[in-house]
């Protein structure tokens, strides 16, 4: 069982968290408190680092819902398929 667990380990917690945006971030600018819930959602999903970044995203996409903005701005993880990772781990043993 431990060999099988070595080939197919569980995903670590850090691999399950959303990636932070790699765009330029700044704390300069005004934040409208009417959008506090939307800003919290954007930051929680990893689409923005600061409140001002979230406000910029809301202004950039005025006609879209918050979930659509998250889908556009969120970075996706590039994950290797399970069998490919297991094959790499097996090759490491040889």
Which regions in the chain score pLDDT beneath 70? none
What is this structure's pTM?
A: 0.69
Q: What is the mean pLDDT of the chain?
A: 89
Domain ranges of the chain: 1-18+78-94, 20-75
DSSP for 39-93, please give it: HHHHHHTTS-SSHHHHHHHHHHSTTS-HHHHHHHHPPPP----HHHHHHHHHHHH
Tens digits of residue pLDDT in 10-25: 888 988 887 878 777 7
């Amino acid at each position: 069982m431990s060999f099988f667990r070595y080939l197919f380990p569980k995903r670590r917690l850090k691999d399950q968290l959303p990636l932070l945006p790699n765009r330029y971030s700044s704390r300069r600018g005004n934040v409208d408190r009417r959008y506090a819930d939307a800003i919290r959602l954007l930051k929680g999903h990893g689409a923005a680092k600061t409140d001002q970044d979230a406000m910029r995203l809301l202004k950039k996409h005025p006609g879209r819902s918050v979930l659509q903005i998250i889908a556009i701005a969120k970075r996706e993880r590039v994950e290797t398929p399970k069998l490919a990772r297991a094959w790499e781990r097996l090759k490491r043993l040889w």
